[in-house]
Structure 1
Amino acid sequence: MFITNRIAAPLALAAVTTCLSSIAVFAAEPPAAIAAAVDAAFGPLLEQHGVPGIAVAVSVDGQQYFFNYGVAAKDTGAPVTENTLFELGSVSKTFTATLGAYADALDRLALDDHPSKYLPELDGAAIDKASLLHLATYTAGGLPLQFTDGAGGMESYFQQWTADATPGEQRRYSNPSIGLFGHLTALALNDDFAHLMETEMFPQLGLEDSYIKVPEAAMARYAWGYNKDGKPTRVNPGWLAAEAYGVKSSTVDMMRFVEANIAPDTLAPLVQRAVEGTHIGYFRAGEMVQGLGWEQYPFPVSLERLLAGNSSDMAMKPNPAEALVPPAAPEGPALFNKTGSTNGFGAYVAFVPDRKIGVVMLANKNFPIPARITATHAVLEQLAEAVD
């Protein structure tokens, strides 16, 4: 593993005008072209979007490089490092999907099961017409992006919810949808979701520094996020938060996760099946194919197509869904990606298994998704050249 720390000037001022390189080399510096591409793509984002800190990791044919900019907390000026913990936001959904696929590999659930099999209170409710697959792919029939106000608790919400589409007809990106999928997965495995993730899924994936609840011993490395007013903030959990947006991790651990997805044959057989299960495409929606957690595009992919597939229209509005029959992994090279945000953090992960390249970007501000994707796309193009 090649580790390069690039630490930007402290944000005592409102913005960073120059990214200073303070490099601690453990093995070898990254290739100059890759370092230049990462610096050019991500370095300016701190000033342009008022981001206190960004951690970037790239993987090229099994070699990993880490680039760190800015600070993890503005009050202390503590620099971002590859071990700084960030909130992943909706990138967490890829872990929820992997746990669900793992439960499937264990024969503890099936994706064509319905919610009431694991939560009998939902028998006869509109949500029970959807399958677990519909919940995991946001095609259950119109569940909203966030939980709407309601009394009586989470189960009551789903009992009272009414559909506005037949399951499978539309993709409507939704925290309640995949959140319920994660909750039902935990019920199928007879355990608490957070406990399963921290004691079963993370270790099986080789992750050593990822959490639902950050332990006290790691709190000093937990970055502060900053909201649109520049105030420090951290995630405020709500219903099914752990399942939908609750993971905190570092670029070191997230690169381990990317490497597990690039080469799942390095994992234990059941975990390999689980990871490979998240690479199967189930529905086409607009410019992308929706799998379990990950969203897919043929590679190479244009920036315009990647932006369209991650647009606000895709996140905020219902989109027609076309079922892939049969569901299948991509026939050729494919890019898998997922964005994530909380009030104070922004994340983006993208990788191409066939080319053995990947990028992780974690930031302690929720800055615009198009800027994250544009920067990552530029770096991926350079990585693809490096492996040609």
Structure 2
Amino acid sequence: MTKTLSCKSGLALAMFSLLLFWPGAHASEGDAPSGLQTIVDEAIHPIMQNHDVPGMAVAITVGGTRHVFTYGVASRASGQAVTENTLFEIGSISKTFTATLAAYAEETGALSLSDPASAYLPGLAGSSFDSISLLDLGTYAAGGLPLQVPGHVTEENWSDYYRNWQPEYAPGTHRRYSNASIGLFGHLAARSIGQPFDELMEGTIFPMLGLSNTFIHVPQNRMRDYAYGYSKDGRPIRVNPGIWDAEAYGVKTSAADLIRFVEINMNPTGLDAALQRAVTATHTGYYTVDGMVQGLGWEMYAYPTERDRLLAGNSRQMAFEAHEVERFAPPMPPRENVFINKTGSTNGFGAYAAFIPSRDIGIVILANRNYPIPERVSAAYRILSALADQTDTPSAE
């Protein structure tokens, strides 16, 4: 029998600042493991207080049982409380969905990741993309594409930008984290199937994954559930459209749906056979940089791992600088005993997802403010380590 616990407070705005940090949690599908409420509260309350985060949702899966804890408000103007179905922007965690689409396209024969990118866009023929593979694009190893698509690039001239772009490094030799890279990757993957990216995600991939609360474009009848993000100066904001926004950072989803996606990544049985293989394929390791193994969308570490290694792998240096890679030949097959994670940010939101397949535990942390990534990683590590202890397995320490 499903048991639901709720201790959210319906607070007037005048009382909100005083009572924000009272525990507000919802644990679903069974009682939480001993002390889990306290563990999560102790990890989340300081983040909210120190960074003035209006609202957060934390979803945890333990052995296939989900627990969702919610805090604060989705909108300061309305005072609407965060729930397990509140929609948050997840920023670059969107890249793991883009990776899933591309892997599905390969599994269904629409593309091969080893093909040159120019094979899927005739306008790139004769350019550097004759020697840059789809896999290079999907793993940020095209040769130095920038983090963001330059401001002068538009919907009308983006193909000119790529056709004239010259790599700084030989393809496959350096990692430079890049929306410009994975954005084009997602576009070409969708093109190989013959549909626009957002239509494929919302009409095919999300439904096949069983995600009914996940969107590229939030429909009008769900806007009430779409949280407002908050800028550094406290203004309510939401993500702006841009080149490759859908492919690189455009997914909006709930804690309940995102933890389901984490569970699917740990155990994809029950999906369409091609999609099941595709989800697993995103955990293939292609190269390593200082202990971080780059998958397709996801980033991985041998388990058990240290918190400092996770912090290094999710550091500003990894996001903003180019790094020479050590490639696996052949690629490293998906493994169970790994710590898999991905961060995501927009101007008003901060998100993190992590899971350990061999322990069957995972976590997502969603917030409507972009607070520091090291605090997300540290909070999740603390909670997952406690769960590993409680499930009578080696700790992540």
**Structure 2-normalised TM-score?**
0.94
Letter in 1 for 2:48: L
Letter in 2 for 1:325: A
Q: Give a deviation string over 1:135-171, Cα, whole Å, max 9, x none.
A: 0000000000001133552111111211100001100
Compare 125-134 and 18-27 and name the one that shifted more.
Answer: 18-27
User: Which residue matches 2:142?
Assistant: 140
1:243 is aligned, of 221, 240, 247, to 247
Name the SS for the 1:339 alignment partner. strand
Paired with 2:335 and 2:31, the residues of 1 have a C-alpha distance of: 35
1:56 and 1:360 in contact (8 A); partners too? yes
1:294 paired with 2:298, answer yes
User: Which residue matches 2:362?
Assistant: 358
Name the SS for the 2:277 alignment partner. helix
Paired with 2:47 and 2:7, the residues of 1 have a C-alpha distance of: 14
Q: Give a deviation string over 1:90-138, Cα, whole Å, max 9, x none.
A: 0000000000000000010000111221110001112332100000000
User: Which residue matches 2:69?
Assistant: 67
Query: Does the C-alpha gap of structure 1 residues 384 and 47 become closer, same or farther in structure 2, counting only changes over 3 Å?
Result: same
User: Which residue matches 2:395?
Assistant: none
1:4 and 1:67 in contact (8 A); partners too? no
Query: Does the C-alpha gap of structure 1 residues 132 and 39 become closer, same or farther in structure 2, counting only changes over 3 Å?
Result: same
Trace 1:1-388 onto structure 2 (pairs within 5 A).
Answer: 3-5=4-6, 7=8, 19-22=21-24, 28-150=30-152, 153-331=157-335, 333-388=337-392
Letter in 2 for 1:124: G
Paired with 1:171 and 1:184, the residues of 2 have a C-alpha distance of: 20
Q: 1:386 Cα deviation (Å)?
A: 2.2
Name the SS for the 1:110 alignment partner. coil
Query: Does the C-alpha gap of structure 1 residues 332 and 206 become closer, same or farther in structure 2, counting only changes over 3 Å?
Result: closer
Name the SS for the 1:307 alignment partner. helix
Paired with 2:298 and 2:88, the residues of 1 have a C-alpha distance of: 20
Runs of 4+ in 1 over 6 A off after TM superposition: 8-11
2:29 and 2:66 in contact (8 A); partners too? no
Paired with 1:312 and 1:305, the residues of 2 have a C-alpha distance of: 13
Name the SS for the 1:267 alignment partner. coil
Name the SS for the 1:145 alignment partner. coil
Paired with 1:81 and 1:376, the residues of 2 have a C-alpha distance of: 19
Query: Does the C-alpha gap of structure 1 residues 172 and 11 become closer, same or farther in structure 2, counting only changes over 3 Å?
Result: farther
1:60 and 1:358 in contact (8 A); partners too? yes
Q: Give a deviation string over 1:238-266, Cα, whole Å, max 9, x none.
A: 10110000100001110110110010123
1:4 and 1:30 in contact (8 A); partners too? no
Percent identical among aligned pairs is: 49
Name the SS for the 1:207 alignment partner. coil
Q: 1:7 Cα deviation (Å)?
A: 3.7
Paired with 2:367 and 2:283, the residues of 1 have a C-alpha distance of: 26
Letter in 1 for 2:105: A
Q: 1:43 Cα deviation (Å)?
A: 1.9
Q: Which runs of 5+ in 1 are unaligned?
A: none
Q: 1:28 Cα deviation (Å)?
A: 4.2
Paired with 2:131 and 2:18, the residues of 1 have a C-alpha distance of: 52
Name the SS for the 1:32 alignment partner. coil
Name the SS for the 1:337 alignment partner. strand
Paired with 2:327 and 2:125, the residues of 1 have a C-alpha distance of: 25
Paired with 1:110 and 1:2, the residues of 2 have a C-alpha distance of: 46
Q: Which runs of 5+ in 2 are unaligned?
A: 393-397
Compare 279-288 and 333-342 and name the one that shifted more.
Answer: 279-288
**Structure 1-normalised TM-score?**
0.96
How many residues are matched? 388
Paired with 1:156 and 1:212, the residues of 2 have a C-alpha distance of: 26
Paired with 1:85 and 1:26, the residues of 2 have a C-alpha distance of: 18
Name the SS for the 1:43 alignment partner. helix
Q: Give a deviation string over 1:181-236, Cα, whole Å, max 9, x none.
A: 00001110000100000011011111111000000110000000001110010000
Q: 1:294 Cα deviation (Å)?
A: 0.2
Q: Give a deviation string over 1:45-85, Cα, whole Å, max 9, x none.
A: 11111111110000000110000011100111111110000
Query: Does the C-alpha gap of structure 1 residues 68 and 331 become closer, same or farther in structure 2, counting only changes over 3 Å?
Result: closer
Paired with 1:2 and 1:207, the residues of 2 have a C-alpha distance of: 22
Paired with 1:179 and 1:116, the residues of 2 have a C-alpha distance of: 15
